[in-house]
Amino acid sequence: MYAPTTIELTTRGRPLRLHLISTGVVSVKRRYRDARGRGLGALLDFMWDNRFTEWLPIWVMVIEHPDGTFLIDTGEVAAVMDPDYFRSSGALVHWFDRSQFRFDVRREDEIDVQLTNIGIPPSQVKTIVLTHLHFDHTDGLSHFPGTRVLLGDLEWKKPYGALKRLWPQDFHPVAVPLDCPYEMFERTYALTGSEDLLLVHTPGHTWGHASVLIKTDLGPILFAGDVCYSQDQLLTDKYTGANASHRLANDTYERIKAFARHEPLIVLPSHDPEAPKRLLDWEPLYNLPSEGLAERED
């Protein structure tokens, strides 16, 4: 339903190729995506809602970097269509995930097939980076046995809403410390020696949620995971109905927007249908004055 999107850029003069790939689609309760309240009130509101959103992408990002090929999140798998898929996590979880979400994922949508279709053998992936541990971001791990998996230390120590029984048996990620400040962000971790890929702590959706900041010569790109469902939510201060912390979600919004006021930032949430267009047309969160950019480049 969503074709892969590829863009060729440079980082510090070196070639960089990015691919946005949707591993099937998901539809959620409208009030899950667009909350009218916070906390328990928002939870009850979307659970009683009987309307679903349009089909939304389940984006992952592939980064062909001079240091190797990185996969950001692993997306969904066709097994999620099995009516009993969530039973291993208990009756309540099974009822919740079957009643609140709808999926359309085929075998050809899974990340290993799509990587092969764009000429990247799955074995070429050097490192998998997880924004957080929700199943639609981790289910594709089964295609990468033995591949190094990184995620933020707080996400590993304090997972929120993770379904551990769906993880591969050999799932032993490296929990990295996000302890280096960068610009408006207090906690980051450099994924490359040149520090042009950063894992950035962007909590709210989960306590340890992280995004990946890609520094390109044209400007920075933030693969934002589930910080928000769409860029419009970020711009209008609208939130989803299932954040671990509204206070932290609000703080993350403010930090991203503050950063974007000084850098031509492209924001790509994991379920935003408009993400490919913004990437290809290079549409930053804010349109910064060209003279401002020139001053920073000097």
C-alpha dihedral, 146 to 148 to 152 to 154, nearest 10°: 30
Range of the domain at 203: 5-281
CA-only gyration radius of the chain, Å: 18
Backbone angles phi, psi at 292, to 5 degrees: -65, -40
Domain contains 296 = no
SS3 (DSSP) at 215:
strand
* Residue 293, domain member (yes or no): no
The CATH number linked to 98 is 3.60.15.10
Distances in Å between the Cα of 72 and the Cα atoms of 63, 140, 197 are 8, 11, 11
CA 159 to chain centre: 16
pLDDT digits (tens, 9 = 90+) for 42-82: 777 888 888 999 999 999 999 999 999 999 999 999 999 99
Displacement of CA 200 from its chain's centroid (Å):
12
Q: Are strands 210-215 and 197-201 parallel, antiparallel or unpaired?
A: antiparallel
Contact 29, 100 (CB under 8 A): yes
CA atoms 111, 113, 115, 118: torsion sign = negative
β-bridge partners, 210: 201
Measure the CA–CA gap between 249 and 174, rounded to whole angstroms: 25
Is 287 a member of any domain?
A: no
Q: Is 65 helix (H, G, I), strand (E, B) or coil?
A: strand
Helix (H) or strand (E) holding 254: helix 246-260
Does some domain include residue 113? yes
Q: What is the predicted pLDDT for the residue at 289?
A: 63
Q: Give dist(CA 41, CA 46) in Å, integer.
A: 9
Domain-embedded: residue 292: no
The separation between CA 90 and the C-alpha centre of its own chain, rounded to angstroms, equals 26
Task: Tell me which DSSP letter residue 52 carries.
Answer: B
289 in a domain, yes or no?
no
Instruction: Specify the number of domains making up the chain.
Output: 1
Does residue 114 fall inside a structural domain? yes
Local confidence pLDDT in tens for the 298 residues of the chain: 799 999 999 999 999 999 999 999 999 998 889 888 777 777 778 888 889 999 999 999 999 999 999 999 999 999 999 999 999 999 999 999 999 999 999 999 999 999 999 999 999 999 999 999 999 999 999 999 999 999 999 999 999 999 999 999 999 999 999 999 999 999 999 999 999 999 999 999 999 999 999 999 999 999 999 999 999 999 999 999 889 999 999 999 999 999 999 999 999 999 999 999 999 999 999 986 644 433 333 3
The count of residues in the chain is: 298
The label of the residue with tokens 């799932």 reads 171
Does residue 43 form part of some domain? yes
Q: What is the pTM of this model?
A: 0.94
